[in-house]
Structure 1
Amino acid sequence: MGPRGRLPVVIAAHLFVSAVIAGVFAWRFGQNPRVVLSHLVLVAEWDCVLLVLPAAVFRWLLTATCSAQVYLYVLDAVSNASWGRNVTGHLVVAFAPTVWSGQEAFPVGKPGITLFFGGTFVLIAALIWLVSRGADVALRRQLGTARTLAIAAAAVVGFGATITWGVGQRDNLFWKDELLASFFRPVGYAFEPTARRHAVAERDAVLQASYPRHVPGARRTNVIVVIVDSLRADHMQVYGYQRPTTPFLSQLVSSGRMKKVDMAFSTCSESFCGITSTLAGREFRDISARTFQLQDALRDEGYRTWFLLSGNHTAWNGLPQFYRADEGTLFDGSQTQRYTMDDDRLVLEGLERVPPASADRPAFFYVHLMSTHYLGVQFPRSHVFTRPDDSVDPGEQPYAILDQLQKRDRYDDKVLQADGVVHDLFEAFAAKHYLDDAVVVVTGDHGEGLGERHWAHGWHLYNEDIRIPMLIYDVSRAKYQDLSFATQVDIAPTILDRLGLPIPASWEGQSLLTRTPTRFTYHQTYFLPNRFAVIYRDGGDLYKFISTPDYGKEELYDLIHDGGETHNLVEQEPRLAAVLRDKVRSYRDE
């Protein structure tokens, strides 16, 4: 084939493959088919820019373009398969350094990443060199320099205008899931923009605007919420575990200064929805960065809000916008000068920057600990159930060694370590006089699979995944009427009720200062395939119904008599199963 015939083949092949891949994404991940057209428009406009370039520049830029598309398609495939949404440049930039260093979990290490990126580029470069020799020269000779420059300028302007417009059209069906526009959106969007979330946010704006300021008689008590990542209640001494894993918390409960909720559950089995549900007092389907949250209500009441967070929260998809922290009040693992980002000692480093308590202005603290997460750093002194020389670095492929990172003895070591960090936090807060008058909640964002049925977290809703501790330190005479059952969404309403502040009408949780003998609570996974659960509490009975629609699987468990969830009662209890099945269906359909 001569030079004149090669150019149309190269460009047509590029457009065809791009359209096919966009179509596969639309089909496989339920995206609107219109995104195929918008994706094709962007690729075609960019190809018009490349058409008028000199031969060498054309080949290298087309190689870079095709390689970048392959990288983007692979990342989008992983992101859609795991979270049901396209990847963004914000996330790639934020997590690339920690993925490369091995601090964040990734299926392959440095050699695999290098081979994929380098090998892809070399293969595409070789293919394009073979089929495009002389192709652009023929076109430039036909059009002339002036005309080709005009085409190039128009193509650049057109591409820039189109991609800029597409980036801003988050709710437009042509652009919502378009792969390139999604990538260039300035902020990662873990809160999928749904009509329901939009309506909730609009209602919350009205509720917050009318929320009373400086309520007469309200108690200006300091509030501290400590969330321990991946902490299971059934591996804590304070919850009856046979090993002494929580000596400090157990002592507080025994003394009567700390209350314990017997059966507490997270709304999901992943950090993002667990954290946001705790602070927003509602299920994840109703949460966005615009909802009215606990820290907002307290800030409006005159509280200073602080965030001391182990882990890389500033990089996570949408969390900084959700926290809405004032400048200088958020300290996380990206800012530590002494430790690595998943080392819980950094929260004490951050607390050093906080001024002593003020009688004129109460404070709210959200503290996040990583000790019990498989990426959490185990301190050298924290080898009680493991040998001192039994240390495991998550390294570059933590998923491949979860059985070592989270084996029972090591997990128990890290529960004990978390208890020690909480002890150190209490001492540090007391030294700054924040505990002189305070309510402290210690809880988890979700549980952790330790090999019973699976490892890690995020994909299931069994007790190992969502049964968490809920401990309330409160030396006042406040009477907590119902400590037998609760979920994360109850924490924020309980705190406001304890302070004498009104609970926003949009919050779905219940205050533990009042009794709620009959209740249905809803839970779901953040990762795909979606699983849904409803927990039914009726007096002393507690049942969990789990539905996995993609697999056609249903499970029903008596949580009082079968905490290990080994006996599926769907066939034995058809009436109860039917009621809870309808609850799950209604929840999904709303």
Structure 2
Amino acid sequence: MTGTSGIRPILGGGTLGLVAWAILRVEESGAVPADEFPPAVATYLAAPWVAVAGVMLLVWGIWRLLRTRRQTPPHTATGDAFTLNAAGAARAGVALCGSITAATLVLALSESALFTARFVPDLVTGDQLLGYQAGLGSLALAIGVQSTLVCLGALALLTLLLRLAPGRERACCALACAVGVTLTLLALLRLTLNSELLELRLWPLVIAAATCVGGLLGCGLIARLNTSPAHPGADLADTLASLPARLLGGTPRLVMASVVFLSALAPALYPDVEDFRMQLFPSIALAAIFVFSAMLIAIGRAARRPRATRLAAIACLAVSTLTLITNTQRPDTAFVAHEYARFGNLVTDIPAARWLHPFEEIGFDNPHTTPWPHHPPGAAQLPALPGSVIATQGLPPIIIVLWDAARPDRCSAFGHGRPTTPNLKRLADRSLAFSRAYSSATATTAAVKGLLSGCYSTRHMLAESHPPFVTMDLAAIGYEHFIVTVTGNDYNGVSAEAFRRGWTHPGITWEDITLPNVDGPQLDGEKTAAVVAALERRAARTGSVDGTFAYLHLTGPHIPWTGDDAPIEFGDLPTDRYDEEMAKADARLGELLDALERLRILDRAIVVVTADHGTALGEHGKLAGYLLYEEQIRVPLVMHLPGVAPRRIADPVASIDVAPTLMNLFRPGQPHRHHGRSLIPLATGRPLPPRPFVSFCAFWDSYAVLDSAFRWKLHHHRGRRYEALFDLDADPRERTNLITEQPDIADRLRTMLDGFLWEGRHSYGNPYHYRAWAGPGG
């Protein structure tokens, strides 16, 4: 037994225990609700067992450590000496920089040929692909140089340690390995999850777990060095270069392990469905680069041709430098790197990116532009009801049905060729049906807040103040019974607390018919039946459902799409499964409408059916996702308003218009606090004044701004540092990026967005997901 035989299981047990603790902390916070992210279900269930396994490993390691110390004399250093000179360090630096640069270039070019090229010519032109590939040299060189500088700094630190502790070379190398691995893990986590870890106060646990992992590899290195010691006088840089191969028992094993590791990373980098895991792409890509570069170094050393290896590294650096000097970053290729590549994503995530790829950051300083026109002149108050609209009598029941991730173009009620939504059509034929409705965000948390508050919502998930929901206004005018299906807690602003915020009137009754953060999605059928039963109880108890508000959130159309128990089958493709989920949601709507007819309240009830956001079905190479294309932000919207004649409306409207439209029925002619506006004038054929609109990418600091004609649409990805511009009249599917052809239009929309973000910097314009505003200007 070696002196580390007991330490390794202790570190392994500690790692498992810390990971389990972190998972339980995340579950407790509600940051990743199991209802919305099914993979979280298995993770939360596994956490206690992971903790048990960690404790067992810990106990076993302590037992082995005590046994080893009784039976084995301590290992004494042999005094193997390492040498380090400037020439050796320079050679090591060139080899390391060349290998990392080559690894980046090979992987990125391979990706562009095997993955990115799949989108040519439908989404990416051949010229854009070549422009993107030409810029990969600068990316590869930047990563290679920065990584090498970090490694040379670590080498200098190790040299200092060796001088301070002569005769402890192996221990110093193991310590360097442990520290290096720990810092690398922490750097990767900081790259992708820094804000989340800060706000959830998980950094101490993460640092401890990363230290345990680094310690595990350090102990393994000591064992290898003890069985295969370095020759006296060995060059330190050369010895460190051999560490990966030594850890794995030789170059062949290292190459095999690298191939297996890179193969395992491919599904993580190129998943069928793109969701919140997209945030991990940069870290996964960097891990692939480091592993591939270690393999290249090992192969070069095994070939025993150091001169040829160094010449190859120098040649790679020269080619990359040439591309850095000659390539000018084109705005129309930046979106290729971010949306149709993984290694190209690293452009924004390395410190040199701001120098290599300048980008105008907006919303952080006062632009001194015209304030954002939330309301055109005269629209800051709710309009008077037209003569053809019968004033609302009493307090009719209000029921909002939200289909999570539903698309209007997949609804037969809006022209889809498949019979997916006959019940929605049944309602639409007696209601206002809006064929061009936009959501204010691409994820549930921000989108539902926008829908129910009538205001643009912050993407800051830990914000302590939010615009009040329409339920506050309804309670103020006399609504006294609220039935709500809620997912999550007040962590994301959509919660039982959010619906009750601002209530000051006594006698209000409340029914929350779901549990927050349950282990798995509650069946939509059960939720619908529960809402129907609540309405029936209310009617039986009071003789009426007047003064009742109900919110029914159905999650079927959200990924994953299984199609199980669908009322109609369409096939096995993702689009087929999605349509089946839409049909299931529509069947639940039919059950609700049937119940309203049984209670004889459908005619006088206010019923709204809409979605929080849409979803991608491969239109831009993705399933699901969060980008701001039309398929992601267009939603169905049907509003049954008593006293308002049925009408099909093609004018562009927004989800933030729903709340002021509802209040317009009760407070005509009065001022209102919403960013949205009443749609009642459209019910009589009167057009509304033009206005621009913004939709948010809730998980990234990205925005889509549409001009007042809803023709030009600028995708401005502030956090990812790129843009795209589309003419929706000529290109409704957003296939041709005109960011270079129409710079004046892009500048105009960017200026408008600058003012919008600055005005809302403390709320909806906050660039951070887990932090409050922290920027110039206060």
TM-score computed with the length of structure 1 as normaliser: 0.61
Structure 2 residue matching 1:348: 3-state secondary structure: helix
Letter in 1 for 2:38: E
Distance in 1 between the 2:426 and 2:558 partners? 24
Change (3 A) 1:288 1:225: farther
Distance in 2 between the 1:271 and 1:537 partners? 25
Which of the residues 375, 385, 405 maps onto 2:570? 385
Report if aligned partners of 1:219, 1:499 keep a CA contact under 8 Å in 2.
Answer: no
Report if aligned partners of 2:30, 2:517 keep a CA contact under 8 Å in 1.
Answer: no
Change (3 A) 1:361 1:551: closer
Report if aligned partners of 2:423, 2:590 keep a CA contact under 8 Å in 1.
Answer: yes
Task: Map 1:39-438; keep pairs closer than 5 Å.
Answer: 68-71=17-20, 75=23, 87=26, 89-91=28-30, 95=34, 104-106=38-40, 117=51, 178-179=201-202, 220-253=395-428, 255=429, 257-285=430-458, 290-309=466-485, 312-313=487-488, 317-318=492-493, 319-324=495-500, 328-332=510-514, 341-354=522-535, 355-356=538-539, 361-375=546-560, 378=563, 380-386=565-571, 407-438=574-605
Q: CA deviation at 1:484?
A: 0.8
Deviations 1:385-435 (A, max 9, x none): 13xxx7xxxxxxxxxxxxx6xx11111122222222212211112222332
Report if aligned partners of 1:533, 1:546 keep a CA contact under 8 Å in 2.
Answer: yes
Report if aligned partners of 1:266, 1:467 keep a CA contact under 8 Å in 2.
Answer: yes
Report if aligned partners of 1:384, 1:413 keep a CA contact under 8 Å in 2.
Answer: yes
Question: What is the aligned length?
Answer: 424
Q: CA deviation at 1:368?
A: 1.1
Number of the residue aligned with 1:518: 690
Q: CA deviation at 1:495?
A: 0.7
Structure 2 residue matching 1:518: 3-state secondary structure: coil
Structure 2 residue matching 1:382: 3-state secondary structure: coil
Deviations 1:485-526 (A, max 9, x none): 111111000111123357664311111124433211111122
Deviations 1:1-39 (A, max 9, x none): xxxxxxxxx9xxxxxxxxxxxxxxxxxxxxxxxxxxxxx
Distance in 2 between the 1:327 and 1:523 partners? 34
Task: Map 1:499-514; keep pairs closer than 5 Å.
Answer: 499-500=666-667, 505-514=672-681
Number of the residue aligned with 2:343: none
Report if aligned partners of 2:440, 2:450 keep a CA contact under 8 Å in 1.
Answer: yes
Structure 1 residue matching 2:744: 3-state secondary structure: helix
Number of the residue aligned with 2:751: 582
Letter in 2 for 1:555: A
Distance in 2 between the 1:555 and 1:370 partners? 31
Distance in 1 between the 2:620 and 2:673 partners? 36
Q: Which runs of 5 or more residues in structure 2 are unaligned? A: 1-6, 70-197, 207-390, 502-507, 682-686, 762-778
Q: CA deviation at 1:571?
A: 2.1
Structure 1 residue matching 2:692: 3-state secondary structure: strand
Distance in 2 between the 1:569 and 1:520 partners? 19
Change (3 A) 1:380 1:176: closer
Q: Which runs of 5 or more residues in structure 1 are unaligned? A: 1-9, 11-58, 77-85, 136-174, 184-215, 391-403
Change (3 A) 1:440 1:516: same
Whether 1:498 and 2:521 are equivalent positions in the alignment is no
Structure 1 residue matching 2:736: 3-state secondary structure: coil
TM-score computed with the length of structure 2 as normaliser: 0.47
* Structure index of larger Rg: 2
Structure 1 residue matching 2:711: 3-state secondary structure: strand
Letter in 2 for 1:240: G
Structure 1 residue matching 2:424: 3-state secondary structure: helix
Change (3 A) 1:571 1:517: farther
Structure 2 residue matching 1:89: 3-state secondary structure: helix
Deviations 1:308-339 (A, max 9, x none): 43x84469744222122966512126799xx9
Whether 1:569 and 2:569 are equivalent positions in the alignment is no
Whether 1:453 and 2:620 are equivalent positions in the alignment is yes
Distance in 2 between the 1:569 and 1:422 partners? 41
Q: CA deviation at 1:289?
A: 5.6
Whether 1:530 and 2:701 are equivalent positions in the alignment is yes
Q: CA deviation at 1:244?
A: 2.2
Report if aligned partners of 2:568, 2:583 keep a CA contact under 8 Å in 1.
Answer: no
Change (3 A) 1:125 1:460: farther
Deviations 1:28-66 (A, max 9, x none): xxxxxxxxxxxxxxxxxxxxxxxxxxxxxxx99x99876
Distance in 2 between the 1:503 and 1:454 partners? 47
Number of the residue aligned with 1:171: none
Change (3 A) 1:560 1:226: farther
Structure 2 residue matching 1:261: 3-state secondary structure: strand
- CA RMSD in angstroms comes to 4.4
